[in-house]
Chain A
Amino acid sequence: MSDKLYKALLFLTALIMPIVCGGVVYALVTDAYDAFEHFGFFKFLTSSDWNYTQGAEQYGALPFITGTLMTTLLALVFCIPFSLPVALFVGEYFKGTKAASVLGTITDLLAGIPSIIYGLWGFYTLRPLIMALNISPQGSGILTASMVLAIMIVPYAASLSTEFIKMVPNDLKEGAYSLGATRAEVVRKIIFPVAGSGIFSSYVLAIGRALGETMTVTMLIGNTNNIPDSITSTGNSMASIIANQFGEADDLRLSSLIAIGLILFLITAIINMIGKMMIKRARIS
């Protein structure tokens, strides 16, 4: 094969990415158009009605946007106290030891568990526990979903943060030790400030993961179409309303679900883009 032909072949194959991604946006936009046209873009975003009675159809995305944001942010809050110690364990305290590689394997395996199995575990183990502790009567809800979601994003946040903690130059750490700092002080005053932007960006990417997580949330969030009024109440996320109703929906409801899909796609894309940009910048400096 000549160099020219080879180059052309690679180029033509690479064309698949713009085609697929362009197709994604095009399909979402055209199929969501009905819903946006019918309710108005802004109204769709801010309405909290979800009524599919024939003749009185009314759809709005607000409860699901709220549900997604609540589960994601709560998951982030639960995730940090575990992912940060894991990152410090693997990237600083026990760097290069057997213990670190064992913990690394554990988090790798956690990352490999399919989300439907996380959902089952949450449903059959965590939910009864939450009921037994009288935290919420029905057991499922924002809180339950967030807790399992947190476990799911720990591996991502931890492995990225580890990378940045490892990158803190030894010169700086030794310099700080030579001035009489303890390890805890080196971590707090040297490692965190120096690796800070990288660690932060790894949490942004972890958020990007949590936003679109579908099965776990669908199985645990309680599936009610109202705006959750507390973290123990039930709700629906953007992904879970789609998973629940897509199969049975048609016409305007289908278009509304696709519109929610488009919003989810855009939010995820923006968060991921910000995260990637920040990571790139953190890697350079």
Chain B
Amino acid sequence: MESVKPILEFRKTCVSYTKQTMAVKYVSAAIEKNTITAIMGPSGCGKSTLLRAANLMHNLYQNIRVDGEILLNGENILSMEPIDVRRRVGMVFQRPAPFPTMSIYDNVLSGFALNGIKLSKAEKDATVERCLKSVALWDEVKDVLNKKGTFLSGGQQQRLCIARALAMKPDVLLMDEPTSALDPIATKHIEELLLELQKEVTILIVTHNMGQAKRISSKSMFMYLGELVEYGDTEAMFSNPADERTRAYLTGKMG
């Protein structure tokens, strides 16, 4: 097996809310470039917490501490400026939340506006078109770019949020149960989209839905009670889990 330099690597990463409760315990895992990696596990297992740590979201709240290392292209992001890290690591949340005061057009460009980056009109147009095309939203909204993003359907809103993250050309895209608030058809759309997107960006996706993990991911992590129980090729994990707890989860005997 050829060895690929990981784009994102957790090294003994721990997340603790107070001194007593550790939500994520010594997770070590290396994520390869241009893959989709699914993180599964019962609710409360720490999967979202781990994902959010990779975007330094914990910095926004007091009483959350992250120990260990999280390496992005070999650099430990825990000692980097959050605003710099977050530009390079995009994030899509559970509930689609386009900025309600901005048009669809401005929503796609919101990362630039928020970061105070000025673009020419041509650059803006090109970025909007590129990003909306890569989330397969262009054809649906190209005539209503000046309308507010909140008028779109849930699935469209979520694709807009993905486009918003992609506009910053992140190295890694973190997705926190991005389809759990969507209907099955919208979910299917997003899944197809992600399979396309992995060509341009590495995706780490937290999901409740085992079927989804199986359909889209090449690698899977299974977390339980804050620990990373198992990490490996999705197919292998589903057909022959190495750990009893993984098997119990995958066969529906847990959570």
Contact = CB atoms under 8 A, between A and B. Distances in A.
Determine whether A and B are in direct contact in the complex, meaning some CB atoms lie less than 8 angstroms apart.
yes
B97 A172 contact: yes
B114 A180 contact: yes
Given A180-B86, A181-B115, A194-B100, 12 more contacts: A171-B97, A175-B99, A178-B55, A178-B90, A179-B115, A179-B164, A179-B165, A180-B84, A181-B114, A193-B101, A194-B101, A196-B101
Contact of A178 (B57, B100, B116): B57
B17 interface: no
Interface string B88-131: 00110101010111100000001101111000000000000000
B87 A180 contact: yes
Interface in A236-275: none
A81 interface: no
A18 interface: no
Contacts of B168: 179-180
Contacts of A193: 99, 101-102
B161 interface: yes
B113 A189 contact: yes
Chain B interface extent, by class: 20 to 34
B60 interface: yes
Given A181-B83, A182-B83, A194-B101, A176 B95 contact: no
Interface of B: 55, 57, 60, 82-84, 86-87, 90-91, 93, 95, 97, 99-102, 110-111, 113-116, 161, 164-165, 168
B221 to A, nearest CB: 21
Contacts of B84: 180
A52 interface: no
Contacts of B93: 171, 174-175, 178
Contact of A180 (B83, B95, B100, B102): B83
Contacts of B115: 179-181, 185
Q: Of residues B57, B115, B168, which shows the largest number of chain A Cβ atoms within 10 Å of its Cβ?
A: B115
8 contacts: A171-B93, A171-B95, A175-B99, A175-B164, A176-B110, A178-B165, A180-B111, A190-B99
